[in-house]
A and B are shown apart, each in its own frame.
Chain A
Amino acid sequence: MPQLWLAVFLLLLLPMPSATAETTDDSVALIAHPNVRAVSLHPNSARAIFAMRQRTWPDGQAANVFVLPDDDPLHARFSKELLNVFPHQLKMAWDRAVFSGTGQAPGRVSTQSEMLERVATTPGAIGYVEKGGTDARVRIIELQ
């Protein structure tokens, strides 16, 4: 049986087409509450924060994460293109965090206007909207 597993492992290491990897999408904007001091975020930090594995901004301020519904097309684009993870993986990461005592669930909003509202009024908040859909109440965070 070990040989079988080795074979499977080697198979998985073969180069595979990556649907999403290198293209940086510019149609989704990361937004934050105006009291957030960061102006940009490393993609690794963004992924760890949205996966609910890291609970603070890089400067130590508590991060409050907001997301759209799992089946919202903007959420799918945001996950795949900005974070480079599939929505089903994010959902699994949240469920594992919540039910194993290692993290909390993100705040849920149902529309982009609700997203803007919640991010604008929650200190430390981070979220995302369609580029061009932001307003003066929130700060735009660049991905480094």
Chain B
Amino acid sequence: MRGSALSNSSKRALRLLLPVVGALAVTPAAAEGVMDTLQMQGFVSQGYVVTNRNNFFGPSSDSGGSLEYTEVGVNASLRPRSDVLIAAQVLSRRAGGDGSDAKPKLDHGVVDYQLPTSPHRTIGIQAGRFKNPFGFYNQTRDVAFTRPSILLPQSIYFDRTRSIALAADGLSVYGAERMGRGEIHVQAGAGWPQVDDDVEEALGLDQAPGSLKAKPSAIGQVRYEHNGGRIIAALSAANVRLRYDSRTGGPGNGEIKFQPLIFSLQYNAEKWSLTGEYALRRFKSERFDVPMLNRDDTGESGYIQYSRRILSDWQWFVRYDVLHADRSDRSGRAFEDETGLPAHTRFAKDLTVGLQWSFHPQVLLAAEYHRVDGTGWLPRRDNPDVADTERRWNMLLLQTSLRF
């Protein structure tokens, strides 16, 4: 996959998109007006990570810390007709691992058609690679300017298996119904998720001969916004399906299902916001020849966060974030007895305080401090030997972001 300019899944997304773009081709005369609607935007973020123990996004526990946290994105959008939007974004991201991870990928690429609207209703459909509506932040999780903090709460937006959560190649339908002082937004999508090496690593299949493939999957979200978004409540659910094709000497063919359910709630005042999300994450793998690979666990995570805007360009927040890899074994002791691996790899409790300063609309500086008990969301690639990880660790992050 690393050899070609675009990943196979990116090619699949383009194959889906091109005929639609072709069908929308406009005459030269109309093209001039269309080009007036062209917008391009982008961002660059550079992070600096220091930990006292364990590594996060590169060799962060070394004396010099880690600079291996970089996000760069460029997007373009166009309205060829009043009811059609074409939008795409290319993203390069490195978060530890090796430099080749920064290879640009198609983050999203959609043709979006909106049906004739009424004051009370909007309905639209997106075809191509669409961002998954998963909790409050997933759709723009790699864009610092849309995040309340440098790291999103890792219990829900963890990095370990981020590729399958990002986007899907297929169709998504959305609608908004506005009544009285409330609005209901619904989005439902079906398509193939992306599967990168991170998922194989997380499942312990990265060294095995064979490969993981995406199967048709589904995702949906219902969101209610009250009184112009003073209160926002959302429920997101997904059924992500993967298939493991084993080769000789491998663990046998297997099926994997990931079924997260997220409840999200936010209260917005003029100067502060209170946000909470709670997730139940069912993970089921079956039919592998190696019994240890066949699991059926439900993970549980949640956080609560208070953020406050001060002056016109400062914001601070405090957050408590908890993850349990298996809600029937919250302490991880049963896991430790069974596998001999540390119990603390099965949970993480993270108390974070942070500050953001946007002294110019195109610049964002941020700093935050994490006090963590457990390594439940610590990326394995940064800490290959889990037996070597420490239960209690602290982390300081600094980040500079620019947009253009």
Contact = CB atoms under 8 A, between A and B. Distances in A.
A8 B108 CA distance: 35
Interface stretch (A23-31, A95-103, A128-136): A95-103
Given A56-B114, A100-B140, A104-B85, A62 B79 contact: yes
A101 B89 CA distance: 8
Contact of A21 (B73, B183, B227): B227
A54 B143 contact: no
Given A56-B114, A101-B75, A12 B231 contact: yes
B272 to A, nearest CB: 10
Given A60-B83, A62-B82, A1 B130 contact: no
A16 B265 CA distance: 16
A100 B139 contact: yes
A103 B85 contact: yes
Contacts of A62: 79, 81-82
Nearest to B143: A99
Contacts of B340: none
B140 to A, nearest CB: 4
Contacts of A12: 231, 265, 267, 274
A39 interface: no
Contacts of B176: 48, 53
Contact of A60 (B75, B82, B174, B178): B82
Contact of A101 (B109, B178, B229, B361): B109
A74 to B, nearest CB: 15
A84 B227 contact: yes
Report whether over half of chain B's contact residues are helix, strand or loop; otherwise say mixed: strand
A101 B227 contact: no
B319 to A, nearest CB: 14
A83 B228 contact: yes
Given A101-B89, A101-B112, A56 B117 contact: yes
Given A8-B276, A55-B114, A60-B83, A101 B143 contact: no
Contacts of A60: 82-83, 116-117
Interface residues on B, range: 35 or more
Given A8-B265, A48-B178, A101 B131 contact: yes
Nearest to B270: A86
Contacts of B117: 45, 48, 54, 56, 58, 60
A54 B165 CA distance: 26
A4 B320 CA distance: 13
A105 B101 CA distance: 30
Interface residues of A, number: 48
Contacts of B269: 86
Contacts of A99: 41, 43, 73, 75, 89, 139-140, 143, 145-146
Interface stretch (B47-55, B118-126, B188-196, B368-376): B118-126
Most central of A70, A100, A105 by chain B CB within 10 Å: A100
B276 A98 contact: no
B302 interface: yes
A123 to B, nearest CB: 9
A9 B231 CA distance: 10
B88 A101 contact: yes
Nearest to B231: A12
A72 to B, nearest CB: 11
Given A58-B118, A60-B116, A105-B41, A98 B227 contact: no
B312 interface: yes
B398 interface: no
A85 interface: yes
Contacts of B116: 56, 60
Given A5-B302, A55-B82, A101-B126, 6 more contacts: A4-B304, A41-B119, A56-B82, A70-B361, A102-B174, A104-B37
Cβ-closest 10 pairs across A and B: A42-B119, A62-B82, A101-B87, A100-B139, A84-B228, A44-B178, A85-B228, A101-B108, A45-B119, A99-B140
